[in-house]
Each structure stands twice: as C-alpha cells, then as structure tokens.
A and B are shown apart, each in its own frame.
Chain A
Amino acid sequence: MSTAPKVGVFLCECGDKIKGNVDMGLLAQKVVETPDVAFCKTMPYPCLKPGIAGIKKAIADAGLDRIVIAGCSRRLMMKKFENEMKDSGLDVGQIAMVNLRDHVALVHPGLEPAQRAEKGVKLIRSSVADLAAMVPGLRFQISIEKPVLIMGDGIATYAAAQQFARHGVESIMALSLDDEEEIRLLHERYPGERQNFGRVRNIMKAVEESPLVQRITVGDPIAKNGKTGNYSVSFENPEGGAPIAVEAGLIMACLDGEMESPGPEFGHNGDSVICQSEADEHLWTVGPYKGNVVFWINDVEAGTPEFAHLSMRGAWSLGRAMVERSDKCNVTIFHNQDTPLPLSAEERRISRKLGIQWVAYDGKICPTVQARNLTYLVKDDGLERELPWDQLILSPVRVVGRHAIDVASLLNLDHKEGRFLRAYHAQVRPENVGRKEAILAGSAAYPCDLSQALAQGRRAAIKVAETIDLSKDGKLFSPAIVSVIDLEKCIGCGQCEELCECGAIQVVEGIGGAFGRAVDPLICTGGGTGAAACPEQAMYLQNASTIQREAAAGALAKELAPGEVAAFGCTWGGYAAADNVAKSGLAMDPRLHMIYVPCVGQIDATVMAKALLDGANGVILFGCVPEECHHSYGVDHGWSRVNMLKKLLALAGFDRKRIALAHADFNNPEGFVKTVEGYTEIIAGMEPIERSPQNLEKLHAIYDTTKNSRVRLLLSAALRRPWESVYRGAQRHALEYDQEFAGVLAEEFAQTRLTRALKAQGEPQTIKDLAVHLDADKDYIAEMLMEMASEGKVNMIHKQRKAHFMV
C-alpha cells in the first residue's frame, strides 16, 4: 500500500434530488481543492450498476485506496458499496459516506444551491480527513483446530456433545459429576419432568459411544486464558494434586439454574408445605401423597409471573403422575386467573378424566395460607372462599447458583445486570447478534424446561460448529473494524474488561511480566466504547480510530462559521433521525453539521475537545434514547464525557452549553428537528469564542487535559450514571463523586496549563509571571507549582532570591 493516502470522492446527483438543489459545479470544485483528494467525479447514480462500474474504474485508474461517496443514507447503501468494492481491494473502513441528499439537499429550503454546496463541502472535507488519517489495519485469519470444551455441568452438555459428534466436531465434556449424579440432580432442577429422563439417558449413551467426545472429570474451574482458537482452561483436580489443564479451540458453557424454596410468607415448612422439587423427590422415593394435594402456582405473588407457565407445566405433570399412581389423592392446581392454562386439547381431556381440578383465583387479593385451608377470591365476586389442603406444593424460586455464576464470570458471560445470564446482547450486525446464545445453554441462562435446555445445547452446538466449518474452509477472519490493544502502552488497569459488554477482553502477559489485556477479535463487536475509555489510549479501534475522529472533527470545525454547530450522530439514533427528516417533509436548521459515528460512546473526549479547539463554537452529540442504546451503555459513556467537557469549559471561563448531549429516535424526526433548532439557537445566541492567543491556550489545555491519564482513569472508572441501580463496582455517591472529580479536573487542568506555559516560555518563570500569563490567582498557581515540584513534574530553582520554575 502506498504511503500517502489517495482519497477518491464521488458526488451523487441522485437524479434531480441532489443536482436540483445543490450547485454541483461549485461542490466539485471545492472538493478537488481539499487536501488528500486524489480524484473527484460527479455521477448521476453512483449506487446503480453503471455508477458502480464507474467507481471501480476510477479506483483502478487513479489507484485510490479509500473513497468517500457523497449521496444518501449509509445505513441503507453502505453494505452494497462494501460488497461491490471488495474486489477493487477496498475493505470495510476504507469507504465512507456523506448523506448529501438527506442532510443537505432536501432539508434546507431557505438556502441557495451554492450555500448548500458550501455545507456539503464541509461535511465531505470532514469525511476525507477521517479517511486520510486512517492507518489501515488488516484482517487476519483465525483457525480453530483444537476441540470444543463444554463446561459447567449443565444437562445441555450432553445434547451439545451429541450434536458435535453428529457434525464431526471433536469435543471435551468437562464434568464434575457422573451420569447418575447428573440424572439425580435433574429432578431438583427440572421438577416434574421425569418422563423425559429416558431421552436424557439415550443421549448420554450416544455420547458415551462416540469416539469424538472425550469426557474428563474435573473440579471447579480455576482460570481461563487465550483467545478463540487457542484457549487453555485449568480446573481443580477432584482427586487432589496438580490442576487439570485443558486446551480448547472454543468454549461453550452449559449451566443449569437452581431451585430454592419459597419464603415464609407462603408458609413453606418442608413438611406439609413444600415446593415442587421436594414433591418430585417424595413422589419417586416414597410415593404419592394422600388426601387433598394443592399445587399453588404462586409465581405471580412471588414476583416472577414470567415463570408461571413453567410451574404450571411442572404441577400438571407431577399432579398427573400422583393421580395415576394412587386413587387416594385429589389434586387441585390453584393458579392466578391471568395465567393461561398451558395444556393442549388432549391434555385437557386427560385432566378432566383424572379429575384434576384447576382453580383460578383473582390476584387482587393475595391468597393466604392457613392451617389446612387457603383463602382466596374469585373473579367478579367479593366473597372470600376457602380451599382445603392436606399437602400444599408451591412453585420453586428459580435462581442462578454460585457454581453457574463462577463459570459464567470466568467466561465473561455475566456482564449484564439481571437475575439470569442470558440477556440482550449488542445487536450491531447480524454476525454478532446472539454471540452469547451461541456459547451458553441451559436454564441458568433463562429458566426453561428440560427439552428446551437440551434444544439450547444442540442449537448452540450447531452455531459453534458453523464457526468451526468456516475455519476449516479457511474463511474465518477477524473483522476489519475491531478493537486492538497496544501492549506497549497498556498498564493492565482492567478498565476495558470492566466495561466491555461482549466479554472480548482477555488477560495476557504484557511487557516485562505485567498483566496486559488483549482483545479477542471474534468476540469484539467493534463498538469502540472500550477504546474511548482507555486511560492510556492504549486501546484503539482499528480502521475507525480516535485519531480519525479527531481529524474529522478538526477538519469540520475549521470550516464552520461562528454560528454553526458540529454534531456527532450515532447510527441508531441521531444519524438515523437526521436521515429521516427529509422523508417526513421537514426542514432542518442548516447550521447543524453532523458527523457519522457508530455510537456516541465511541467518541473520545479528545475528539470533542478537538472540535472546540479547531473552531467549533458548539458541539452536540446525538445518541439513542438511553434504554435503546445498541451498545448497551454507549450513550451513558457519552454523557459522562460531555459532562467532563462542561466542567473543563467552565474552568476555562467558557460557557458550559458549548457542548451538549441529546437523544434522538429514528422514528421521531419531528422531535429531532426541534432539538436541533433548540441547540443551534443557543449557540447562535452566544458570542463566538474569540480565537485570541489566551483563549487558544485554554482550549489547548482542555484538549491536553482530556488526554491526561489520571483524569481518564477516574472518568472511565465511573462511566455509568450514578442512579443506575446495578453495576459492577461499588455504588458511588452521586454528589461526592462529582465534587471529587471536579477537584481533580481543576487540578489537572491547572497543571496542564502550567506545563504548557513553561514549555512555551522556554526559560524559568516566577510565580507572578505565570499568574499574569495565565490570568490566574497567584496563590493557587503557587500551590499547584509546589505540588508539581514535589511530584517532579517541574524543577524549582532560585534566581535573584526568587523561586523560578521550569520544565
């Protein structure tokens, strides 16, 4: 690849939609004048076959290694361009798009075609600068030759191993129990499912007979190292002695949920009032109960209505087995009227024949357990009734056990808050949707019945086997846009590991024996939130780095007129909302200039500072509505950084409102347009920042402070909003934390300014000189300087009996 980037820009006329509204001649002329632009062409439709042929020809003729297409929505068109340009040697990341049609041509009715062209140029220059700053990182091939390790003791282990064997994939089952113990545990974890145990035994037999399945007996897992293709996991040795080490190409977890007894408010006593798993045990060891057996499906009252259907199935199955075995037993299933009967027509007939009663109660009043009676209400009747019982059987409380949590956290599968392990995963592109589902099966992921657990094991195995097939065919590559950690800079603080939602961060041996971190490229979704949070900027997003974003922000900011605003819009929220403005027949304030980012959480604070430094008088970030963030907490990360910038602006004596965070929904362009107008009005109402040497010095110091490790570490340690109810690490006191953070910021900001000033002056300075130079309080300067001197950041010397400082 040549050293100097050669950027080609293709301007779309989009029939008359762009051509009719934008001065294309002026636009092309200005684009050609842009640095790094090696080629520029105006085309009627770059996206249709004739246009694509034209782009390919230009790439070949002019030797372009990156291109900008200024046309319409990248969300819709990028995939087509990426696919088409592959054989021209351009990979993902080497193509950028500017939405000339929906952000410029069709939404500014008040502008002249030449003015629209001016705005278009600004956006295109920003995009060109972004691409020109890219240091292309290549994809590399990943091969998986070692077997798949299935761990966690869940019953799905067997189904997964069977599926792997069918697929011709080698697997290792690491279990701490033998088959009989697993079967014995089943009734505790999947009560009322004994009729299905035969199937489990069949699977166990098939697995035992397969030469592709290896079985090892292990204790608790100790550690996991490595990346996809090359993992090593160590387990405690159940017979004592050295730990057992296992090498694996991929790891799958099969984890079963556990059952606990319900609390005293339901009268559980382990004897006359028990829960379903106890009833199952009793039925098959002692025999059916006599008299009135009542199954109370109390899930709604216990706060887990979503599991009521599982409990109902369990009750039905247990109750049926009891009645079929004894004629001295009357079974009643007592359930909330809002829970529908989970029976098929055939089962309803059987139920009637067996005389199993289904009693629905009105949940307005919680039924109460009394000695030998339950009091309850029925629908549309205020009269309290009594249901007599001799044996009361409650729904179990479904939980994730300690063992499952340990295994999950070892495999980075427990990052999402919530009671169960399966959760919404960053839905960014289909290939990484459901990655978690591919390597996790069983009822600890989310409560399910036995056959669902087995099915999950099989399904996960199919997905894993597909990855292995890709590897066998030599088609498994790391993605183009993926986080990479520079081990020379990594200090092993582990912030990225805390933040990463996908669990892609692995501990590796760093420089000089320290523990560094590395990214598993097959797990990383390329969201870039980790990279933006790295205190040392050791982590970067390959082919979409912070350096590129800074270049884009800087190039745009340089072009902006005083009243204009630089904006960042995320794919899912802000940018998409802007794409839809024209479609809804609305107009948008032309002073807003939006740069595309995949997620606002990817925008490093340095990028925001760079925009302000290079000329922007207002910067706004448009993210998703918080609960809808596709990168889980990207928008919250953006919030934390914006607030840091606000503090820095205030410290430097600028208006805090020069930076802002906003939320947008793609389906609410009206709301988006209003937000835009609101903010541009605020910025237009302020005097622009005078670009005097003093102000530039402050803006520079802001920019430098955003790169300060101490500031970045503090920021990344508390990226979530204080009111989030659950997150890793200790809950912080909202106000105390912020006051402390503000203090540190003030200190670091002042020290940054002092360092810069001393560097700029070149010769030793007195406190007074510096105070005048920085227009700051003398005592504060003195205090800072003394602290810096004690930390060795500055040297203090005495000249003419006065303290002088130098770097």
Chain B
Amino acid sequence: MLKFRINDIDVEAEPGWTVLETAREYGIEIPTLCFHEAVQASGACRLCMVELREGDWTKLVASCVYPAKDGLNVYTESERITNVRRWIFEMLLSECPASQEIRDMAAKYGVTSTRFAIKDPEQDCIMCGLCTRVCAEVVGVHAIATQSRGVYKRIGSPFMKPNEACVACGSCVSVCPTGAMARRIDLVRGKMEENQTNAA
C-alpha cells in the first residue's frame, strides 16, 4: 500500500494506480476531457493537472498519467491549478469555439471568453484522440486516426472516404467530449451498401 495525501486528506493506493484514480476512489473530482475509463490515459488535454508540493518546491503534473507514490502531497484545487485550468479552457475555447460542450464546461469554471486568437470559428474538435483510441483499443478496428501534423492535424478516415474497417458501432461518438464526432461519423461509416463496392 502506498500512502500519500490529496488535498490534505490521507489516502492509500496500490502500486500501478494513478493519482486521478486514487482521487476518484476517495470522491475527489478532478475535471477531465481526454480521459475515458475504457482506454489507456494519454495526458493530451492537460485539464486534469494537479499540483505536487514538497516543501517550497512545487510542480504541475497530469494526474491521469501520474502514478501514485509514497509521500506525495497533491492539491487539486490550489490557486495555481485553478489558474492553469482557466488558461487551458481559454486555449480550448480558441481552438474549438464551435463546441457547445466545451463552452459549457469552461463556463462551469468561470471562463466565458478567450484572449487567444480564434483560427477557425467552425472548429469543434480538440484533437484529444479519444475517438481514435476507442476505435483501436475497444473496438479494435482502427477505422479512424489522426492525420497530418501540427496545425493541420485532423481526425478522420483514410482519404476522407468511408472506411470499410468501420463497423458503425458509434463508440467514437459516445466518447467524444465535444460532440465533434457526431458530425463526422457519417463520413467514416458511409452507407454499408457503398462500402461493399468501394472495397479495394
């Protein structure tokens, strides 16, 4: 058993648990976006950042991937964390302004506008890759993936055509935190009749 503290509460964890998992077991909620119980954590969205303190030394880590350790001192709602979270929400708002889900979530944390430039007002995807991970890890068909890189990165099926590999289970739509996949799924699943003739 590992012993450490979260928000000054003593907690215990087994080796292999993450800080996030331990916190949730003790009823301490940490907001997440790209985390889903069904798949491996990836630490992409940084919303689950927590502060680790040791004396006057502190550091910020993503709790969804940070392993529990003996003697940690974790704070999930410190001033620094709240500040970082607001920054992340502002960045998310500039990145995908079209997502109502993100706007709602940001508003819950008191963020309603962003100081960053909005590149694409139509964008609703935060590129967290949850959909592609579910497609690969849970469904096991790899019908969608991230494509290109940097600012051109996007999610979709190869050649932006309906992918024969897609089994149309809708798992990607269910896990998508922004609702973006609901608008993209028809491009991926296509019509089954068509998939038949498109087959290479």
Q: Is the CB of A627 within 8 A of B193?
A: yes
Assembly CA distance A576 to B169 (angstroms):
8
Q: Is the CB of A630 within 8 A of B21?
A: no
Assembly CA distance A44 to B11 (angstroms):
15
B134 adjacent to chain A (CB < 8 Å): yes
Given contacts A50-B21, A627-B192, A666-B170, 18 further A-B pairs with CB under 8 A are: A15-B29, A44-B24, A44-B27, A48-B21, A49-B14, A51-B25, A76-B37, A76-B134, A76-B174, A80-B38, A306-B197, A430-B141, A433-B141, A571-B169, A572-B168, A576-B169, A666-B174, A667-B185
Q: Is the CB of A424 within 8 A of B174?
A: no
A636 adjacent to chain B (CB < 8 Å): no
* A: number of interface residues (CB 8 Å): 39
Q: Is the CB of A423 within 8 A of B13?
A: no
A53 adjacent to chain B (CB < 8 Å): yes
Partner of B171, one of A76, A446, A628: A76
A484 adjacent to chain B (CB < 8 Å): no
Q: Give the shortest distance, in Å, between B178 (CB) and chain A (any CB).
A: 11
If A76-B138, A667-B182, A667-B186 touch, does A45 touch B36 (CB 8 Å cutoff)? no
7 closest residue pairs by CB, A with B: A666-B170, A50-B25, A47-B37, A430-B140, A427-B167, A76-B38, A48-B21
A732 adjacent to chain B (CB < 8 Å): no
Assembly CA distance A49 to B16 (angstroms):
8
**Could you mark each residue 461-493 of chain A with 1 if its beta carbon is under 8 Å from any beta carbon of chain B, else 0?**
000000000000000000000000000000000
B93 adjacent to chain A (CB < 8 Å): no
**Which of A45, A427, A428, A584 has the most CB atoms of chain B within a 10 A radius of its CB?**
A427
User: Which residues of chain B have C-beta atoms less than 8 A from A53's C-beta?
Assistant: 14
Q: Is the CB of A580 within 8 A of B140?
A: no
A sample of 28 cross-chain residue pairs with beta-carbon separation below 8 angstroms, ordered by A number, consists of A15-B29, A44-B24, A44-B26, A45-B25, A49-B18, A50-B13, A75-B170, A75-B171, A76-B138, A76-B175, A79-B38, A79-B138, A306-B197, A418-B196, A422-B199, A423-B196, A424-B196, A428-B167, A430-B140, A430-B141, A430-B167, A571-B169, A580-B170, A583-B174, A584-B179, A627-B192, A630-B167, A630-B168
Assembly CA distance A176 to B191 (angstroms):
40
A77 adjacent to chain B (CB < 8 Å): yes
A73 adjacent to chain B (CB < 8 Å): yes
Assembly CA distance A424 to B22 (angstroms):
45
User: Which residues of chain A have C-beta atoms less than 8 A from B169's C-beta?
Assistant: 75, 571-572, 576, 666
Name the residue on A nearest B200 (C-beta).
A452
Assembly CA distance A666 to B166 (angstroms):
14
B111 adjacent to chain A (CB < 8 Å): no
Q: Give the shortest distance, in Å, between A533 (CB) and chain B (any CB).
A: 23
Q: Is the CB of A628 within 8 A of B192?
A: yes
Q: Is the CB of B170 within 8 A of A576?
A: yes
B139 adjacent to chain A (CB < 8 Å): yes
B44 adjacent to chain A (CB < 8 Å): no
Q: Give the shortest distance, in Å, between A575 (CB) and chain B (any CB).
A: 10
User: Which residues of chain A have C-beta atoms less than 8 A from B21's C-beta?
Assistant: 45, 48-50
A16 adjacent to chain B (CB < 8 Å): yes
Partner of A424, one of B29, B139, B141, B195: B195
Q: Is the CB of A77 within 8 A of B173?
A: no
Q: Give the shortest distance, in Å, between B190 (CB) and chain A (any CB).
A: 11
Assembly CA distance A572 to B169 (angstroms):
6
If A44-B27, A571-B169, A630-B168 touch, does A80 touch B174 (CB 8 Å cutoff)? no
User: Which residues of chain A have C-beta atoms less than 8 A from B87's C-beta?
Assistant: none
Q: Is the CB of B173 within 8 A of A44?
A: no
User: Which residues of chain A have C-beta atoms less than 8 A from B4's C-beta?
Assistant: none
User: Which residues of chain B have C-beta atoms less than 8 A from A51's C-beta?
Assistant: 25
For residues 555 through 603 of chain A, which have their beta carbon under 8 Å from a beta carbon of chain B?
571-572, 576, 579-580, 583-584
User: Which residues of chain B have C-beta atoms less than 8 A from A667's C-beta?
Assistant: 170, 173, 182, 185-186
B66 adjacent to chain A (CB < 8 Å): no
Q: Which secondary structure dominates chain A's binding surface?
A: loop
Q: Is the CB of A627 within 8 A of B191?
A: yes
User: Which residues of chain A have C-beta atoms less than 8 A from B192's C-beta?
Assistant: 424, 627-628
Q: Give the shortest distance, in Å, between A594 (CB) and chain B (any CB).
A: 16
Write the residues of chain B forming the contact surface with A, with a CB cutoff of 8 angstroms: 13-14, 16-18, 21-22, 24-27, 29, 36-38, 134, 138-141, 165, 167-171, 173-175, 179, 182, 185-186, 191-193, 195-197, 199
Assembly CA distance A628 to B170 (angstroms):
13
Q: Give the shortest distance, in Å, between B137 (CB) and chain A (any CB).
A: 8
If A572-B168, A572-B169, A667-B185 touch, does A50 touch B14 (CB 8 Å cutoff)? yes
Name the residue on A nearest B13 (C-beta).
A50
Assembly CA distance A44 to B174 (angstroms):
21
Assembly CA distance A632 to B185 (angstroms):
21
Assembly CA distance A486 to B79 (angstroms):
68
Assembly CA distance A44 to B20 (angstroms):
13
User: Which residues of chain A have C-beta atoms less than 8 A from B25's C-beta?
Assistant: 44-45, 48, 50-51
**Could you mark each residue 627-664 of chain A with 1 if its beta carbon is under 8 Å from any beta carbon of chain B, else 0?**
11010000000000000000000000000000000000
Q: Give the shortest distance, in Å, between B162 (CB) and chain A (any CB).
A: 12
Assembly CA distance A16 to B24 (angstroms):
10
Assembly CA distance A667 to B185 (angstroms):
8
User: Which residues of chain A have C-beta atoms less than 8 A from B174's C-beta?
Assistant: 73, 75-76, 576, 579-580, 583, 666
Assembly CA distance A306 to B198 (angstroms):
9
Assembly CA distance A666 to B16 (angstroms):
35
Q: Give the shortest distance, in Å, between A454 (CB) and chain B (any CB).
A: 15
Q: Give the shortest distance, in Å, between B165 (CB) and chain A (any CB).
A: 8
**Could you mark each residue 33-75 of chain A with 1 if its beta carbon is under 8 Å from any beta carbon of chain B, else 0?**
0000000000011011111010000000000000000000101
Q: Give the shortest distance, in Å, between A495 (CB) and chain B (any CB).
A: 26
**Which of A75, A76, A306 has the most CB atoms of chain B within a 10 A radius of its CB?**
A76
Assembly CA distance A44 to B191 (angstroms):
40
Assembly CA distance A428 to B167 (angstroms):
7
Name the residue on B nearest A429 (C-beta).
B140
Q: Is the CB of A580 within 8 A of B191?
A: no
Name the residue on B nearest A426 (C-beta).
B167
Name the residue on B nearest A47 (C-beta).
B37
Q: Is the CB of A580 within 8 A of B199?
A: no
User: Which residues of chain B have C-beta atoms less than 8 A from A576's C-beta?
Assistant: 169-170, 174
Name the residue on A nearest B197 (C-beta).
A306
User: Which residues of chain A have C-beta atoms less than 8 A from B186's C-beta?
Assistant: 667
Q: Give the shortest distance, in Å, between A671 (CB) and chain B (any CB).
A: 13
User: Which residues of chain B have C-beta atoms less than 8 A from A79's C-beta?
Assistant: 38, 138
Name the residue on B nearest A446 (C-beta).
B199
